[in-house]
Amino acid sequence: MKAEKFDEFASNYAVECNRALTITGESSEFYAAGRISWVEKALRRIGETKPRRILDFGCGMGASAPLFEKYFDVESYVGVDVSNPSLSLAEKSFGKSGRTFRNINDYKLVGEVDLAYCNGVFHHIPPSERPSPLKCVMEALRPGGVFAFWENNPWNPGTRYVMANCVFDGDAETISSGAAAQLLREAGFQVLFTDFLFVFPKAFSFLRPLEARISKLPIGAQYLVLGRKPE
């Protein structure tokens, strides 16, 4: 992942992201809240109801930090990223006691994290380089800790349209859900399940109550692969 690209867009990342999402009728904040809410439900399905130590891998400007505190009883939150300007903005906007923002290369956690989370990070990492950050996540998790791996679904035409119109996704290499699950297995994770979310744009929001029922169909704009570090 090239820090320079995200350094360039740090100050207007949200603006560019929301511009690309215009076709959906929703903002990036809507999708961020939807992902973390879905993770909370997914963890309840496996009996993991109280993750207190959170790692936000590829945290960007840190906007997800308060969302974790909304859905979980967070004791400590660590957001890591490659972009120092993004981290400075995160600290300015969301910094407080219990939250830490650090460069990935300067911060190491070992066996301390209950829940690791990432969203749309790995499509910015060349395929040959993906095992290394997965190893970092694995090392950070406690035995039995959970990794919520979110990525964009390349089989969804809306997703492809949004990425094609997003200035910082020009060099992205999308990952299918099957390939993502395999990546996690090769890194040593136990893959628990894959869910697909965000099927209906705002114009069809009245259909969104159906999403939980069809979450196993590979039609959502994003997918979650939930993995666990072996005990």
Q: CA 60, 111, 191, 169: dihedral to nearest 10 degrees? A: 20
What domain range includes position 212?
Answer: 5-50+107-228
For residue 130, the model assigns a pLDDT of 97
Q: Are 105 and 85 in contact (CB under 8 A)?
A: no
| Best CA proximity match to 119, nearest among 215, 28, 27 | 28
- Tell whether 59 is covered by a domain: no
Strands 190-197, 141-152: pairing kind: unpaired
Please identify which residue in the block is written with the tokens 């936000």: 56
CA 149/CA 170 separation, integer angstroms: 21
Residue 32 lies inside a defined structural domain of this protein: yes
Q: What are phi and psi of 99, to 5 degrees?
A: -115, 135
Answer for the pair 93, 66: CB distance below 8 angstroms, yes or no: no
Confirm whether 201 is domain-assigned.
yes
Q: Could you read off the pLDDT of 161-195 as tens digits, one per residue?
A: 999 998 888 889 999 999 999 999 999 999 999 99
Would you say residue 93 lies in a domain?
no
Q: At 183, which CATH number?
A: 3.40.50.150
Distance CA 78, CA 116 (A): 10
Total of domains in the chain: 1
For the record, the structure tokens of 46 come out as 């496996």
Structure tokens at 164: 């094609």
**85 in a structural domain:** no
pTM for this structure? 0.94
Q: Residues 6-15: pLDDT tens digits? A: 555 566 777 8
Could you read off the pLDDT of 84-109 as tens digits, one per residue? 999 999 999 999 999 999 999 998 88
> 51: which 2 tokens?
């993750």
In a domain, 70, yes or no: no
In a domain, 82, yes or no: no
Over residues 200-219, the pLDDT tens digits come to: 999 999 999 999 999 999 99
